[in-house]
Amino acid sequence: MIPCESSRRRALPRDDRRALAERLDPGVRQDLIAINARILRSAPVVRRAAQDVYDSYLKANRVERGILSYDAVVRLVLGSRFEPGWTPRIGRAG
């Protein structure tokens, strides 16, 4: 299951998602397609119950925002810029 499916879809505008997908290795694209197919084969009620249980688990283990914390990680990763040699660029992204 991919946490917070609806918020994940809002993380990037459609054109940006498409441009990012085009840059992915074909193997990564195939993995994402397989993940999506698996999600679509499961029952929505089961997905929702699993999401609720996992959210409760995270909160019980002091992850204050639960599943919503994944959005912050995605924004951090997508917003990070690197110098040559994968050294993080300090300061404003851009």
d(CA 9, CA 19): 15
Q: What is the pLDDT of residues 52-86, one digit of tens each?
A: 999 999 999 999 999 999 888 888 887 888 888 88
Listed by start position, the domains of the chain span 5-88
d(CA 80, CA 72): 12
Q: What is the pLDDT of residues 24-37, one digit of tens each?
A: 999 999 999 999 99
> In terms of pTM, does the model score above 0.85?
no
Both tokens assigned to 64 = 């204050």
